[in-house]
Amino acid sequence: MAQVAIETTQKFLPVLRVTLGWMFLSAFVRRVINVPAKLNPQSSAYVGGKILTFLPHAWSPIKGILIWVLENPTLLYDFIIAFTALEGIFGLTMILGLFTRLSGFVLAMFSWGMGLAAGWLGSTCVDEWQIASVEGAAALMFMLTGSRWLSIDQILYSKYPEGIKIGKMRIPLW
Amino acid sequence: MRTLEIIAIIFMLIATGVTFGLYQINFQGFTNLTNYSKTPAYDLSGTRLYSNGTLLLNVTRTAGPDTYGGFIVLVQILYPNGTVLYQWTGQQLGMLPQSDIINKFPLHPAKPIHIGKYGVGILAPLGQNFVVKLQVPFHIKPGTYIVRVYDADGQYEAYGTEFQVTVTVS
């Protein structure tokens, strides 16, 4: 009976999974397709400027890193490109339900990391904290549930129910 | 089954702990709820005044909306009793040359804002730290003075902190 209950729950997980993935994939789309100027250090729309607005009340251990990155424009650019690419990749894999557990872990770390840097911002409400906490908790949940319905992991699971094995260690990517 | 339930509870506590922790770190939500995005605020630490009348106004914009403002429209040097020794209005601040404002970070620089010949003030983007070079046209006697800035909303105080600093001229 317990097995059946888990299956039922799994079928409702895509309700959240696609929205959660899109939060990250859309960040990639906005910067790469909609407004490429966001990735141009010469443009006033450059997202590097956002990092500057995080500074005043960022959690102090993170603040030092932000200042260091802001004082090194090349480093800042590399960081933004890498972060944008990873957001795109793991946002997409979350939507597709591919390596859902890994994607969930990575997205939870992104969300909570952002919460420590930008979490104090929110001119409408306590906006950035709400985003970081809800996305972080949701992503962590997918790390624990995986995805067994409307997902690529579902196919991988039916073919390789044991997951990946390295020696005796079983890595549950799906 | 027992192991599964323990794992579930541990992760529930982790996620809830992060949520509550971030609420406290970012907004002091459980003690003294503060949203720093509401009103602009400035910190003047590092400001220096010299007897030849040079004021190196060191400003950090520490609060307020991330996408707009703030605007410094009045800079005052005051005696400790509150009388104004000298001041610069938005008209003068907005007409300063850009070279008199030195930004710490290249992105989102602070700059003088003017509409034609009408000076408005100094735009101070959130997070930026900058030094404004100002010159009082006379010598200043040794002593203690207060340097204060006003935001365009007419205030020199937000979140219980005044936008001013005490400086000593030797």
Q: Could you report the per-residue pLDDT of B46-90, keeping only the tens digit for each?
A: 999 999 999 999 999 999 999 998 999 999 999 999 999 999 999
DSSP state of A56: G
Q: Please check the confidence at residue A91 and state whether its pLDDT lies above 80.
A: yes
Of the candidates B119, B169, B109, the one whose C-alpha atom is nearest the C-alpha of residue B142 is B169
Q: What is the CATH number of domain B41-169?
A: 2.60.40
- Residues in chain A with CB shorter than 8 Å from the CB of B37 are 120-123
Band of residue A3 on the pLDDT scale cut at 50, 70, 90: very low
Asked if B105's CB is within 8 angstroms of A126's CB, the reply is no
| Cα-to-chain-centroid distance, residue B40 | 7
Buried b / exposed e along B127-145 (16+ C-beta atoms within 10 A)? bbbbbbebebeeebeeeeb
Interchain contact, A57 vs B36, CB within 8 Å = yes
Instruction: Report the gap between the CA of A89 and the closest CA in chain B (Å).
Output: 23
Asked if the Cβ–Cβ distance from A57 to B63 is below 8 Å, we say yes
- Average predicted confidence (pLDDT) for chain B: 97
pLDDT of residue A6: 59
Do B15 and A123 count as a contact with CB atoms less than 8 A apart? Answer: no
Query: What chain A residue is nearest to B37 in terms of C-alpha separation?
Result: A123
- What pLDDT is stored for residue A2 in this prediction? 43
